[in-house]
Structure 1
């Protein structure tokens, strides 16, 4: 949680806007809440599938939880009590767009990120199945030439050591080229995230494919 708040501070300091999955609890919920408190609601855009929209308990939003729990993980998605044509009204967690399914959610999130300026990219804090699935999809998209922006793991307390070890072993065994083994970057401190995104250079081993409108 401390790292999540520190990341929000770094995003605010560097005038970076956040696109994320719309959760109000856990690490990303804390990043969103703190960034909105610093930069305003237009600095955060949550994108959530309609199936995850539930009935709320307080003013259309679940009360914020877990800000004092340093071990809190990803608990739940944003909870709202109404659906509007243009999304959910601005809140302490920013703006929200409702989409029909998970595939649309990921595609729209990626599109919004890629529309950004220099340093745009993907950053992952600790998480579970959904988090690692999204990390690897964006890494694969980079390898396939769909995008060429950075994918950074914020590796607090060695959380991502196992995944990084797997990448190194895959390179050693020949399943990933040495060049593409560098697609997934590591930041051990929050202060390293923005510089790594700015300094990111696409791998020379990426596939030069024509994806049309992708």
Structure 2
């Protein structure tokens, strides 16, 4: 894993452990020479994550759509800032630049980004590891709901199992580095990817 896209909140929330671990994930990236790809903001969990990388001499690429550049208060100290035309182009660019995906706590935007990446993997459009850093049980209820989707027959167990979940940074990164992608669905040919 040389570059990881991290989806997370543009707010800091109210849990100090989440703020602390966002910064620590950034430090871990820098120490492990993993380039951070993220949403480009200097505020919220996004800002804490980027600072963790930058303060430890790591590389950070921010990707932000033009209309959010001011609203999300874009970071001016990044290794590189890429400005896109819209949200769809932003996600595609972030995906293209990364070897893996991690979700930290966040709101609707974070969930939308995570689920789009999982959907793409389910369809065989990529085989990158997708991790959830489940800080203080933030994602417990969502994971329980996804298990309900499996139990009710709306989600295949093997698709649920694509998600790599851990509550520690070291544990999550280790699992992601050792990830073995599932075989592509029979109806998808490798050259279509």
Equivalent position of 2:72 in the other structure: 77
Task: Confirm or deny that 1:48 pairs with 2:27.
Answer: no
Equivalent position of 1:26 in the other structure: 44
Give the Cα–Cα distance (whole angstroms) in 1 for the partners of residues 57 and 187 of structure 2: 38
- The structure 1 segments of at least 4 consecutive aligned residues displaced by more than 3 Å after TM superposition are 204-208, 210-214
Within the candidate set 85, 89, 93, 1:100 is matched to 85
Question: Per the alignment, in what secondary structure is the counterpart of residue 150 of structure 2?
Answer: helix
Task: Confirm or deny that 1:186 pairs with 2:165.
Answer: yes
Could you tell me how far 1:197 is from its partner in structure 2?
Answer: 1.3
Q: Which of 146-155 and 191-200 deviates more?
A: 191-200
Question: Per the alignment, in what secondary structure is the counterpart of residue 38 of structure 1?
Answer: coil
Task: Confirm or deny that 1:167 pairs with 2:146.
Answer: yes
Going from structure 1 to structure 2, the CA distance change for 1:203 and 1:212 (only over 3 Å counts) comes to: closer
Could you list the per-position Cα deviations for residues 59-91 of structure 1 after superposition, in whole angstroms to 9, with x for gaps in the alignment? xxxxxxxxxxxxxxxxx62348xxxxxxxxxx4
**Aligned 8 A contact 2:164 2:172 in 1:** no
Could you tell me how far 1:163 is from its partner in structure 2?
Answer: 1.2
Supply the RMSD in Å over aligned alpha carbons: 2.0
Gaps of 5+ in 1: 55-75, 81-90, 114-119
Aligned length: 175
Gaps of 5+ in 2: 1-18
Could you tell me how far 1:213 is from its partner in structure 2?
Answer: 6.8
Could you list the per-position Cα deviations for residues 110-147 of structure 1 after superposition, in whole angstroms to 9, with x for gaps in the alignment? 0001xxxxxx3100110000000000000011000000
Q: TM-score, normalised by structure 1?
A: 0.75
